[in-house]
């Protein structure tokens, strides 16, 4: 389970973009940002004139059910500090921890709405957990 960590930040999810990307508002500052969730990859909803990938509508719906409008914990991963916790699209890279203490990515992988995304570094124990869940 997630527990609490010194770098944890309280956020409200204001919009689910797709299964692995959300928009948040930081509770302490009110600043809005876009977050790419670490350790998982879900089908893309499609942009501009592209159609959603198979499973994207279901993954996005499940993400909305779990996240949208909820106050949760955002946890940056120390493995991404060298790149300023941002991806090439300038999205904040972070783990999301649900109110029950579980990791959002773990839930999505377990429910087959996402796959484990392991070729970018993050917490080694979580990587092992996500891979194990995906293999099951």
**Domains identified in the chain and CATH numbers:** 9-135 (2.40.50.90)
Q: How confident is the model at residue 99 (pLDDT cuts 50, 70, 90)?
A: very high
* Segment 75-98 mean pLDDT: 93
Gap between the Cα atoms of 81 and 13, Å rounded: 23
Averaged over 22-41, what is the pLDDT?
A: 97
Contact 77, 120 (CB under 8 A): no
C-alpha–C-alpha distance, residues 66 and 11, integer Å: 14
User: Tokens 């099951």 map to which residue?
Assistant: 136
Longest dimension (CA), the chain: 42
Burial 45-79 (b: 16+ CB within 10 A, else e): beeeeeebeeebebbbebbbebbeeeebbbbbbeb
- Note the pLDDT of residue 42: 97
Residue 45: is its pLDDT beyond 90? no
- For 119-133, write each residue's pLDDT tens digit: 888 999 999 999 999
- 72 membership: H or E segment, kind and range: strand 71-75
**Residue 4's pLDDT band (cuts 50, 70, 90):** low
Taking 60 as the threshold, does the pLDDT of residue 55 lie above it? yes
pTM of the model: 0.92
């Amino acid at each position: 389970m997630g527990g609490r960590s010194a770098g944890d930040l309280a956020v409200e999810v204001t919009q689910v973009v797709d299964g692995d990307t959300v928009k948040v508002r930081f509770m302490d500052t009110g600043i809005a940002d876009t977050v790419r969730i670490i350790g998982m990859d879900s089908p893309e909803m499609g942009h501009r004139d592209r159609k959603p990938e198979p499973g994207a509508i279901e993954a996005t719906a499940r993400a909305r059910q779990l996240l949208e409008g909820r106050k949760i914990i955002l946890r940056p991963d120390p493995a991404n500090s060298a790149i300023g916790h941002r991806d090439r699209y300038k999205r904040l890279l972070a783990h999301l921890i649900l109110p029950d203490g579980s990791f959002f990515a773990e839930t999505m992988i377990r429910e087959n709405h996402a796959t484990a995304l392991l070729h970018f570094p993050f917490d080694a124990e979580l990587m092992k957990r996500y891979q194990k869940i995906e293999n099951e």
